[in-house]
């Protein structure tokens, strides 16, 4: 199907660099088309600084055309036929027509260059990405019905789904990601192929899987994406802790559906992201992923008590360890791993406050233990309330309001975000006449505990407490 762009229901303007580059290639005797996501986004009213093009020119010919026009270019993807460049605020990739496939046991694609646009589009992942704009004529090339599928909210593959996923198994993750980002439904044949071929995702590198997972979690409808991964078995290989949440219910249904609860918490956490105050701007991966993973320790800790109740003791601590382990396997950076694991570990801490009033000391510890994750922890804890009992939900919300007010009140008096002892290491050594070593650390921890328990002291009071503590230490009589 080929028709003029002017006859198509586009809702976003076409950047001038697109037609400008098209004329350059045409003048050099080459074909050039805007392709894939940027074309799809034109119909969705979205613009992107990243533009993908395909051409009959080989990498050397591409460079010859863009060398003087681009602000900078690079050849990192040359072996795959791709030349990258930057023009103004746009990042651009121009790729020679190609077809690629994976060997059954390989993580790397085998690339073969093609000769025409239609064949190149056939190898694309989904029909909504298998559309192109010929340049500079602005003809829309849509041989597989991408526009129709986009308007129908349907995700299909240009060819047989099994062939598409065999060529690149990561496309199964992309299907789940598009379900999250665009809210599309996956065609039955695509779902069936994902289910039959889910294990093939294991040949893809952890880094590529991680990147798709981040995009999925940060999408507008992450619940859809996660549920698609779980229902097709893809999550069994990528994120097995999540499908494990589908605990077999006992005949008396003495605990809630942990899997559906976790998806609801994920949705509620997304709704609590705040762009207005900048505390947790949307989308926030750490908050969202912690919401999804917060109960992954429950399958390993579920116990049926003699009373008939079901318990999940220490599932927060177990869940934090499982989450950190999974994120390491997926090659997440250490800071993100620590942030998410900390949130999972602390997500139950508040319930002690709701059951019995906390001292100022307990509030300080809550803030100190949360550290930089405090704002996320506020939102995760509130999101974890999914009870249908309105009175219980209101009671928990009131209790957390009270805790936040307590934190705010103490913060006006103290620097809660960075609680430190009233004396530092140099002060300790000078006062006690000791050298650097383990004793200084013990003294520091004693003063920190005092600070947590009783709030800030005057310098004189802190020195007095330290002298009393020191008098009871075995090293007090040693040579300084």
Across the chain, which has 480 residues, the per-10-residue mean pLDDT values are 46 83 97 95 86 96 96 92 94 87 59 84 94 95 96 96 93 98 97 98 96 97 98 98 82 69 96 81 96 96 86 94 98 97 95 71 84 92 89 85 84 63 82 84 81 78 84 72
Residue 93's SS3 state is strand
Cα(66)–Cα(64) distance, rounded to whole angstroms?
A: 6
Strand 310-311, strand 303-304: pairing = antiparallel
What are 388's two structure tokens?
A: 């249908």
Count other Cβ atoms within 10 Å, centred on residue 78.
16
**pLDDT, position 397:** 86
CA-CA distances (angstroms) from residue 2 to 116, 142, 272? 14, 6, 44
pLDDT of residue 469: 86
- Measured CA angle at 176 (ends 170, 180), to 5 deg: 135
Q: What angle do CA 11, 180, 325 make, to 5 degrees?
A: 145
**Helix boundaries (H) for 330-424:** 334-346, 351-355, 360-370, 374-383, 390-413
End-to-end CA distance of the chain: 88
Helix orientation angle between 16-27 and 59-66, rounded to the nearest 10 degrees: 110
Residue 108 pLDDT:
60
**pLDDT tens digits along 145-169:** 999 999 999 999 999 999 999 989 9
Would residue 150 be called left, alpha or beta, if left means φ above 0 and alpha means ψ between -120 and 50 degrees?
alpha
Residue 1: per-residue pLDDT: 44
Quick one: pLDDT at residue 362? Answer: 83
Here the tokens at position 395 are 């009671």
φ and ψ at 304, to 5 degrees? -95, 110
**Neighbour tally for 280: CB within 10 Å:** 20
- How far are the Cα atoms of 218, 223, 271, 312, 414 from residue 258, in angstroms, in the given order? 22, 14, 20, 11, 39
- Is the Cβ–Cβ distance between 465 and 423 less than 8 Å? no
Under 8 Å CB-to-CB from 69, ≥6 apart: which residues? 20, 21, 24, 87
Cis-peptide into 283, omega within 30 deg: yes
The pLDDT of residue 406? 85
């Amino acid at each position: 199907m080929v028709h003029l762009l002017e006859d198509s229901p586009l809702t976003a303007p076409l950047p001038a660099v697109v037609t400008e580059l098209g004329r350059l290639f045409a003048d050099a005797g080459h074909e050039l088309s805007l392709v894939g996501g940027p074309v799809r986004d034109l119909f969705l009213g979205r613009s992107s600084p990243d533009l993908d093009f395909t051409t009959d020119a080989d990498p050397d010919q591409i460079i010859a055309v863009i060398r003087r026009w681009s602000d900078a270019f690079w050849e990192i993807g040359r072996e795959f036929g791709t030349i990258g460049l930057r023009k103004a605020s746009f990042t651009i990739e121009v790729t020679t027509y190609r077809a690629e496939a994976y060997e059954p046991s390989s993580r790397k694609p085998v690339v073969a260059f093609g000769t025409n646009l239609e064949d190149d589009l056939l190898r694309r992942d989904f029909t909504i990405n298998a559309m192109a704009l010929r340049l500079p004529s602005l003809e829309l090339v849509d041989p597989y019905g991408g526009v129709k599928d986009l308007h129908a909210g349907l995700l299909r593959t240009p060819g047989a789904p099994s062939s598409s996923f065999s060529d690149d198994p990561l496309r199964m993750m992309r299907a789940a990601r598009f379900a999250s980002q665009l809210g599309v439904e996956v065609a039955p044949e695509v779902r069936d192929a994902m289910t039959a071929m889910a294990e093939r995702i294991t040949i893809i590198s952890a880094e590529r899987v991680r990147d798709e997972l981040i995009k999925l979690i940060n999408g507008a409808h992450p619940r859809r994406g996660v549920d698609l991964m779980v229902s097709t078995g893809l999550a069994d290989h990528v994120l097995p802790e999540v499908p494990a949440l589908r605990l077999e219910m006992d005949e008396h249904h003495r605990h809630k559906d942990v899997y559906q609860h976790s998806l609801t918490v994920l949705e509620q956490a997304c709704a609590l992201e705040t762009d207005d105050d900048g505390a947790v701007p949307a989308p926030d991966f750490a908050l969202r992923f912690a919401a999804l993973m917060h109960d992954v320790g429950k399958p390993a800790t579920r116990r049926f008590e003699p009373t008939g109740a079901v318990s999940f003791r220490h599932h927060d601590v177990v869940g934090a360890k499982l989450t950190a382990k999974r994120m390491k396997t997926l090659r997440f950076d250490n800071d993100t791993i620590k942030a998410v694991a900390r949130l999972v570990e602390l997500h139950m801490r508040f319930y002690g406050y709701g059951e019995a009033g906390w001292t100022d000391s307990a509030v300080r510890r809550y803030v100190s233990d949360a550290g930089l994750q405090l704002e996320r922890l506020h939102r995760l804890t509130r999101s974890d309330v999914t009870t249908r009992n309105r009175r219980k939900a209101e009671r928990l919300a009131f209790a957390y309001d009270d805790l936040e007010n307590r934190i705010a009140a103490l913060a006006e008096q103290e620097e809660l975000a960075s609680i430190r002892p009233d004396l530092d290491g140099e002060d300790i050594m000078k006062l006690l006449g000791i050298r650097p070593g383990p004793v200084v650390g013990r003294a520091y921890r004693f003063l920190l505990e005092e600070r947590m328990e009783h709030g800030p002291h005057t310098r004189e009071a802190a020195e007095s407490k330290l002298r009393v503590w020191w008098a009871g230490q075995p090293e007090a009589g040693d040579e300084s």
